[in-house]
Structure 1
């Protein structure tokens, strides 16, 4: 589970209701700041760009939302320049109010783009127009920073030795040594600055979660703590860049991680619900319980710890024999085992004695804190799972429990997640700040209402809606002239037994017409590998598959060698940005609905139906529309790009929900004629573009 609980010992006293008070650093003369249009113009001119109507509309909309203290959702297509469109009014507001603006992203790539490229250039460009040069900082979860104290202290072991084979132990040992050498020279302690990276097992030996942290006042290394130094830098910045997970933790908890702020910009907002759900998902397995036993170690009487270990073994045996999937009704044996785990964890917590007595030395305090952290998580998760049952009606359920069968080093694991995070977001995120949500993909089926409902904002204009507006500023691309959406209506519906021969033939013919230059996006890794194996010898162009090497290196090779094709799965859909002639064809094998046996999606769908809604459209179709739009968005990345998005699933042309899905895609010229599409691709290839 993410680092989701904040330790009061290392935070300032909480404010009532989490109200945010502006910092007393409002810039002198800030009330005379130029309007946002002038600042945007100055930024664009300084950066050597040109004015884009969509960018101007978005900047005005963000400024208006801030002025009115209302929320706004802005769909801005690739090439709009949305980063500048929200950063300029955000910087202006920070200057006027003396309060930071938080910018939250879903991906490391966008965080780095903002902090390493966009913000430094923008700060320099706007400095002549503002009372002082804008300042910015990046802030991540505590687990991302090196813990100086943990490097030198005796700490409870994290993993059992038997989890590793000798090769893994050796590789991890080399990584540990490299971390120790890097620790002597790093100025930030930020894991992302350690290149090449290290695995989680190595890094975990040098980092702590928020719950494990002793607090700056108690920790012997508190004065030089990397995480605290990062928070201090963020506290003085105008713009604080973070990620959706940390934003969720900050808004859900009673104690603050982020600096005082009254405006949040959520970029890549289509990812917000999934990231928040991940933060609040709990898990319980034999491994998590045994970790708590090891953490408590010799701190309590052996017989009390043995009771928890016995409960862990009972849980292990039960989960090994149980079928994976949703657990809709609580079997008596599972209820008894969860109660045993909960009660044994509570007994260990009681045996540890009072928390935070201040009598321990730092090393003993660290061991006790680590034990409390693991035991609390086991106890609270077991209780939460027990509380998920007992509702007479489906509509009254709040959470779903399921068993993940695991595999390899990962044991069978019980998980629990909320059926909706709308209420949490409505109360915690949107309740006391202005929120700007933006992405290239927000208006699904031509409306913002689907995602707004998931965010807890309600339908636009309805009585239950918070004050919010939706705006699509369009795209600088001429989609009907630059791209074709081809739906292979003549193919049979996709089957459950892998790619059919007709699909492989279609893929081969399209790639041959395009002269390679193809990104194949498949619904599963199995399908991507099967297509690669079937077509590698059949095609005259290089064919790469996700997993052959690191994704970064594969994408680099794909971009640099025009005939090369790259096949991958959903994880590639948002990470590939290849402008130019190396990408002329995007193939999507099937509509990416959630798997019918996906426990969380299926439970959410059923829950919407129980409340009188259309579960399929609200959950499955919305999920598919988002991924389809993200996949189709890979094609046009620059003004001169041209090409085809080919969806092989005929249901995009024939099913009753097809109109909703197509309305979620960029407005390409659409056809179901395979001959016409192959001819268009051949003309592009012959023209050298």
Structure 2
């Protein structure tokens, strides 16, 4: 992570500032000072610079990429100018985050305190709304019997029973009865407000997906719809808070119908944006999905589709014979099966339309709902099969998409399935997100190798088409003194990690580090198996408690780790970001290996090959860039407050010896670095003794 940059990095075409587009109000710097004073805080230079950069971006309509290290207070730095713009210009702002934790912080903590502090300056109190996907809310129509449920009629589920032999079905019955009772009293219908929660299986009995929803024009109880009420409120407020998945669906699938009209979008945790958009744009097709759609069609609409059943059998057989991995060339059998699925689904949709027209207005609400669910299921199959068939027609080597086959291993594995994802989402982001509004993208880890260029490229802001999109990159640094607060230790003497897993030498090294630290260790591993084996090995070598992800619910494990400084916690990607443990309980962060994507990852390997074909370096642009973000996120778990001290220990010698090591190190906080084992062990002992 580079140091604070006083002069912003400006890239892209120049733009003309139109001062008339912004209604004049109090300057962001003054408003930020008001908020900081009201909260009893102290002025932070990085936070002030970021607030000014956001203000400038909004006024000049120039996209902003801003890196703000942990402790900067970036939420307030973007919220203050965004709220001021929304109120004075009467133009809505949308805030999107990747994690529920940050979403809750913005809505429940930051916005209420900010609004109370600056309402006198703005002459009214700002308003906001949290907007989630439709499936997060109760569906009144489904509760009233407007839809059939997957497990039979909702109210036919057995009443609660104390018979433990009832098993999962008994638990489902108890949960659904509880949901029915809650539905009579809740004013929000929001699943997150149900405490304790229920299983996904139970929640599906009382909710619908966006595709399953009848829509406000056709739903008989639309006026009572929880989701529609939230959306209606969102159209009247100054600030809407949502998540990356919702933002991606709004831009890519709904044509901007999910989020209310807005002219400024703030993307927090922006390092996650491209991956979340890719996830939304990724589709799957399998024989089990086809069989489920066929059953839904038969049960809900009375239509028996032999073509769909035959296509499912053909797809299942083709997938069994297809080798797993990327489809560089489509096998004839699999290509024919995909085309057959597309044609069968198209025929089924036509049959559904004819059957619906024959029903007329006499059809009851449940029948209409059932028919709608059948149409949604078949439409999903058709959309994915059509996309796959287009890939077949183009040829896998000359495609905008990447298709691959996955196959599980062992008796409990999932059946083989087909997947398709975009080779790149840069064009989608540029055209669907950045072209329609001013975007402020921020994160603690937004530069790679000290440059904004890789992230700007992933957002579609660089290249031949991206060069016409003006943007500015600013690194406001961090309030932490990383060289004095932390040490980066690379175990250069260890052999590079292999596929067989860690060796006794690695476990001995890890044990020595944890022992010197007196516990206090957060172990970040590249796989669940690696974390479990390391935990088992260290439990045999040490007397301090070693917790491992999977031993209990993650929030409880983090809480136990925080409460007992002698305890260590090992885990995988869930711990690499989002874990915030300031103080002495986390004095050592251990990373077992550089978190490169799997060599057999079909999407990552296809992207790397595409970069190589275009004359670039696919390894650096894809694999190393992916690893750099993950490394920076993992190393960022160490210093969470100005009083924190500690060590980030990387047990992968390639960080010190490989040619790409410098690129990866430049993406990390500017810790004091060493490869000396005695030096780092002595430093940890001093920390453990309060030195």
1:435 paired to 2:439: yes
CA contact (8 A) 2:142 2:148 kept: no
Evaluate the alpha carbon distance shift between residue 393 and residue 301 of structure 1 in structure 2; reply closer, same or farther with a 3 A threshold. Answer: closer
The aligned residue for residue 454 of structure 1 is 458
Shift of 1:355: 9.6
Partner in structure 2 of residue 345 of structure 1: 345
Alpha-carbon separation, structure 2, partners of 1:450 and 1:356: 51
Residue 151 of structure 1 aligns with which residue?
Answer: 143
Out of 630, 643, 649, the residue aligned to residue 646 of structure 1 is 649
In 1, Cα distance between equivalents of 2:465 and 2:238? 35
Change (3 A) 1:225 1:490: same
List per-residue Cα deviations over 1:548-581 (Å, max 9, x = no partner). 1111110000001111000000121112100001
Determine helix, strand or coil for the equivalent of 1:547. Answer: coil
Between the aligned partners of 2:152 and 2:301, the Cα distance in structure 1 is: 20
Structure 1 residue 544 corresponds to structure 2 residue 547: yes
1:153 Cα shift?
1.3
- Rounded to whole Å, the distance in 2 between the matches of 1:120 and 1:105 is 18
Residue 211 of structure 1 aligns with which residue? 211
Q: How many residues align?
A: 654
The residue matched to 2:206 in structure 1 has which SS?
coil
Structure-2 separation of matches of 1:463 and 1:293 = 44
Give 3-state SS (helix, strand or coil) of 2:57's partner.
helix
Distance between the aligned counterparts of 1:159 and 1:626, measured in 2? 43
Q: Which runs of 5+ in 1 are unaligned?
A: 1-25
Q: CA deviation at 1:341?
A: 1.4
Looking at structure 2, the residues matched to 356 and 94 of structure 1 have their Cα atoms a distance apart, in angstroms, of 45
> Aligned partners of 1:195, 1:410: CA distance in 2, in Å?
32
Instruction: Name the CA distance, whole Å, in 2 between partners of 1:266 and 1:286.
Output: 37
CA 1:159 to 1:332, structure 2 compared with 1: closer, same or farther past 3 Å?
farther
* 2:97 alignment partner in structure 1: 105
1:424 and 2:416 are equivalent in the alignment = no
Does the aligned pair in 1 maintain the 2:335–2:392 contact within 8 Å? no
Match of 2:516 in 1: 513
For residue 15 of structure 1, what is the aligned residue in structure 2?
none
**Separation in structure 1 between the aligned mates of residue 624 and residue 570 of structure 2, nearest angstrom:** 24
1:384 corresponds to: 387
- Note if 1:564 corresponds to 2:570: no
Deviation sequence 1:30-83 (CA, Å, 0-9, x none) = 945211111000000001111000000000000000000010000000000000
Q: How does 1:210-229 map to 2 (within 5 A)?
A: 210-229=210-229
Q: Are 1:65 and 1:72, in contact at CA under 8 Å, matched by a contact in 2?
A: yes
- 2:189 counterpart residue number: 189
- CA 1:121 to 1:608, structure 2 compared with 1: closer, same or farther past 3 Å? same
Confirm or deny: 8 A CA contact 1:307 1:344 kept in the other structure.
yes
Output the CA distance in 2 between the equivalents of 1:132 and 1:409.
Answer: 57
Which residue is 1:590 aligned to?
Answer: 593
Which residue does 1:8 correspond to in 2? none
Cα distance between partner residues in 2 of 1:257 and 1:356: 27
Q: Secondary structure at the match of 1:119?
A: helix
Does 2:480 match 1:491? no
Could you tell me whether the CA contact under 8 Å between 1:159 and 1:291 is conserved in 2? Answer: no
Who is 1:397 aligned against?
399
2:202 aligned partner: 202
The question of 1:578 aligning with 2:581 is answered yes
Contact in 1 for aligned 2:460/2:466 (Cα 8 Å): no
Q: Partners of 2:186 and 2:289 in 1: how far apart? A: 32
Q: Would the aligned equivalents of 1:593 and 1:623 in 2 still touch at CA under 8 Å? A: yes
Q: Deviations over 1:174-196 (max 9, x none)?
A: 32233222222221111111222
Q: TM-score, normalised by structure 2?
A: 0.91
Give the aligned partner of residue 8 of structure 2: none
Specify the alignment match of 1:611 in structure 2.
614
Deviates more, 1:630-639 or 1:570-579: 570-579
Residues 486/462 of structure 1: CA separation in 2 closer, same or farther (3 Å cut) = farther
Q: Secondary structure at the match of 2:473?
A: strand
Cα displacement (A) at 1:235: 1.2
**RMSD after superposition:** 2.1
Residues 511-565 of structure 1 show CA distances to partners (whole Å, capped at 9, x for unaligned) of 0000000000000001000001111132111110001111111000000111100
- The answer to whether the 8 A contact 2:330-2:396 is kept is no
Q: Secondary structure at the match of 1:553?
A: helix
Quote the offset at 1:382 in angstroms.
0.9
The 3 A distance-change label for structure 1 pair 502 and 115 is same
SS in 2 for 1:158: coil
1:288 aligns with 2:289: yes
Deviates more, 1:365-374 or 1:105-114: 365-374
Task: Write the distance in 2 (CA, Å) between the matches of 1:671 and 1:545.
Answer: 28
